[in-house]
Amino acid sequence: MTVERGLLENRLREERQRRGWSQDELARRSGLSRTGVSAIEMQRLVPSAAAALALAAAFECRVEDLFRLPQTLAAAPGWAWAPRGVPCRYWQAEIGGRLRCYPVEASPLGVVPHDGVVLEATEAPRVEAGGGILNEATATLVMAGCDPAVGLLSAVLARSAGVRLIALQRSSRSALELLRQGLVHVAGVHLTGADHPEGNDEVVHRELGPGYRLIRVARWDEGIAFDPSLKLGWLREALASDLRWVGREAGSGARQCLDALLGGRRPPRRVALDHRGVATAVQGGWADAGVCLRLVSEEAGLGFLAVRQEVYDLCVPDRWYDDRRVQALVAALRSPAYRRALAELPGYRSDDTGEVRLIRE
| pLDDT at position 266 | 86
**pTM beyond 0.85:** no
pLDDT tens per residue, range 279-310? 999 999 999 999 999 999 999 999 999 999 99
Domains of the chain: 9-68 (1.10.260.40), 134-361 (3.40.190.290)
* Whole-angstrom distance, CA of residue 39 vs CA of residue 335: 16
Answer for the pair 223, 254: CB distance below 8 angstroms, yes or no: no
| pLDDT at position 134 | 37
Could you list the pLDDT tens digit for every one of the 361 residues in the chain?
334 444 567 788 888 888 889 999 999 999 999 988 988 887 777 788 888 899 999 998 888 788 875 555 544 678 999 999 889 999 999 998 788 999 999 999 999 999 989 988 777 777 654 443 334 788 999 999 999 999 999 999 999 999 999 999 999 999 999 999 999 999 999 988 767 878 899 999 999 999 999 999 999 999 999 999 999 999 999 999 999 999 999 889 999 999 999 987 888 999 999 999 999 999 999 999 999 999 999 999 999 999 999 999 999 999 999 899 999 999 999 999 999 999 999 999 999 999 999 998 7
* Whole-angstrom distance, CA of residue 309 vs CA of residue 294: 10
Reading phi first (left if > 0) and then psi (alpha if -120 to 50, else beta), residue 130 is in: left
Q: E strands of the chain, at which residues?
A: 9-10, 67-68, 78-79, 88-95, 98-103, 116-118, 140-145, 164-169, 186-189, 212-226, 245-248, 271-272, 289-293, 303-317, 348-349, 356-359
Residue 330 has a CB neighbour count (10 Å cut-off) of 17
Residue 179 has a CB neighbour count (10 Å cut-off) of 28
Answer for the pair 278, 290: CB distance below 8 angstroms, yes or no: yes
Q: Which of 207, 284, 210 is nearest to 244 (CA)?
A: 284
Backbone angles phi, psi at 283, to 5 degrees: -60, -40
Q: Which of 37, 27, 34 is nearest to 58 (CA)?
A: 27
CA-based max dimension of the chain: 75
* Whole-angstrom distance, CA of residue 109 vs CA of residue 237: 36
The conformation of residue 209, written as its DSSP 8-state character, comes to -
| pLDDT at position 127 | 60
**First and final CA of the chain: distance in angstroms?**
47
Q: E strands of 69-139, at which residues?
A: 78-79, 88-95, 98-103, 116-118
| pLDDT at position 71 | 53
Backbone angles phi, psi at 112, to 5 degrees: -90, 130
| pLDDT at position 2 | 39
CA atoms 171, 176, 180, 183: torsion sign: positive
Angle at CA of residue 308, ends 272 and 214, nearest 5°: 80
